[in-house]
């Protein structure tokens, strides 16, 4: 059996890390190593790993000074020895058949260098509130023209006849997603498995994208390097609602700017390879600049004006024009007016007995 390396970055998540590691150890595919990269935790993570997994040779613990999730993932990727590499965030967990299903797909589809799946979303209480959350979380799915994502489709049973009954009928789709990834991220990191060959071509995560949204750049480059596959079943539980998540409210400034930092160099370098018409690309850029402008305006940053102006030039919209006009006033006054507007709307709502 080929070795699978599971890379788990973590920072001050001793409260949930064992659930992630245990889900990787409980896989029906047994030839695994779990590379836990501690990004400078101060909550007893090292002691937890030593006490709970110190005698398990499948768990390798690496510690580094705090440098961010991308740096931690890259440390793990450099240390990984497997022919296959899977990524698992420390607050998520896997279904026990997840890795066997994906390895069977990659073996049956040698043209695909990466495979990902859908996911269940669970709240802080551990209850599933959405059994297929991928397309709800990633809005780019709503922008991709229907029927353009994949070129071939088969079902899991044709690849793995003995798969768990509930996922045998799930579709396994393959295709070149590079152009459609310009609309935005379509891939969730904890569902991903790559071949060693594809990883060596992608070369890890960028470490100059702080905050949130750094994974989009990695997945876009993964799709740039060739065909990928998607299994339409939920193989993980994605944790929502925890206060230390990178997707929590307030991270919009980072996420929106990282989106632009990701696609602008790609459009400059690979425009000839991207099959989207120019009007679609202009719309994507306009929405990206609008998103960044609005988030920067909320944060009272003067860079909001330039982003809103760029959006308006690409795609004139009344909302963008109003925000641009508002950005010309002192930003503290804009914040005050927005707060007063929200308060007035609240006051005007009918009281419910």
Which residue's structure tokens are 């920072």? Answer: 11
pLDDT recorded at residue 329? 83
Share of the chain above pLDDT 70, in %: 91
pLDDT tens digits for 100-150? 999 999 999 999 999 999 999 999 888 999 999 999 999 999 999 988 999
CATH of the domain spanning 4-239: 3.90.550.10
Average pLDDT over residues 312-338: 81
Average pLDDT, the chain: 92
Average pLDDT over residues 323-350: 64
Strand partners, 84: 4, 195
pLDDT band at 339 (very low <50, low <70, confident <90, very high): low
pLDDT at 299 over 60: yes
Q: Do 113 and 174 meet the contact criterion of CB atoms below 8 Å apart? A: no
Where are the domains positioned within the chain? 4-239, 252-344
pLDDT recorded at residue 351? 47
Residues 6+ apart with CB under 8 A from 310: 285, 286, 289
pLDDT tens digits for 237-292? 999 887 655 554 567 899 999 999 999 999 999 999 999 999 999 999 999 999 99
Q: Are strands 171-175 and 152-155 parallel, antiparallel or unpaired?
A: antiparallel
Which token pair is 336? Answer: 């005050």
| Rounded to 5°, angle at Cα 343 from 341 and 344 | 65
User: Residue 40's Cα: distance from chain center in Å?
Assistant: 22
Between 343 and 196, where is the model more confident? 196
pLDDT tens digits for 145-164? 988 999 999 999 999 999 99
pLDDT tens digits for 48-99? 999 999 999 999 999 999 999 999 999 999 999 999 999 999 999 999 999 9
């Amino acid at each position: 059996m080929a070795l699978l390396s599971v890379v788990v970055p973590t920072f001050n998540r001793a409260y949930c890390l064992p659930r992630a590691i245990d889900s990787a150890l409980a896989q029906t595919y047994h030839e695994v190593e779990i590379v836990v990269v501690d990004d400078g935790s101060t909550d007893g993570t090292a002691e937890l790993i030593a006490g709970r997994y110190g005698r398990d040779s499948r768990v390798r613990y690496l510690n580094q000074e705090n440098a961010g999730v991308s740096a931690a993932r890259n440390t793990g990727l450099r240390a990984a020895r497997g022919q296959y590499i899977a990524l698992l965030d420390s607050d998520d967990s896997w279904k026990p058949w997840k890795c066997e299903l994906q390895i069977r797909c990659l073996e049956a589809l040698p043209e695909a260098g990466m495979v990902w799946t859908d996911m269940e979303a669970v709240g802080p209480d551990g209850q599933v509130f959405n059994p297929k959350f991928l397309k709800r979380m990633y809005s780019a799915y709503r922008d991709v023209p229907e029927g353009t994502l994949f070129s071939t489709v088969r079902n899991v049973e044709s690849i793995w006849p003995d798969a768990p009954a509930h996922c045998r009928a799930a579709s396994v789709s393959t295709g070149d997603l590079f152009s459609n990834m310009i609309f935005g991220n379509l891939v969730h990191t904890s569902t991903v498995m790559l071949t060693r060959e594809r990883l060596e071509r992608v070369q890890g995560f960028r470490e100059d994208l702080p905050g949130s949204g750094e994974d989009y750049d990695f997945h876009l480059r993964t799709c740039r390097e060739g065909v990928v596959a998607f299994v339409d079943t939920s193989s993980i539980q994605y944790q929502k609602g925890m206060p230390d998540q990178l997707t929590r409210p307030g991270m919009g400034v980072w996420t929106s700017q990282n989106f632009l930092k990701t696609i602008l160099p790609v459009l400059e370098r690979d425009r000839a390879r991207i099959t989207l018409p120019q009007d679609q690309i202009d719309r994507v850029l306009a929405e990206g600049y609008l998103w960044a402008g609005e988030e920067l305006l909320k944060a009272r940053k003067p860079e909001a004006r330039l982003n809103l102006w760029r959006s308006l030039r690409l795609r004139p919209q009344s909302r963008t024009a109003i925000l641009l006009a508002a950005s010309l006033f002192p930003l503290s006054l804009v914040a005050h007016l927005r707060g007063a507007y929200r308060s007035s709307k609240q006051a005007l709502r009918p009281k419910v007995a």
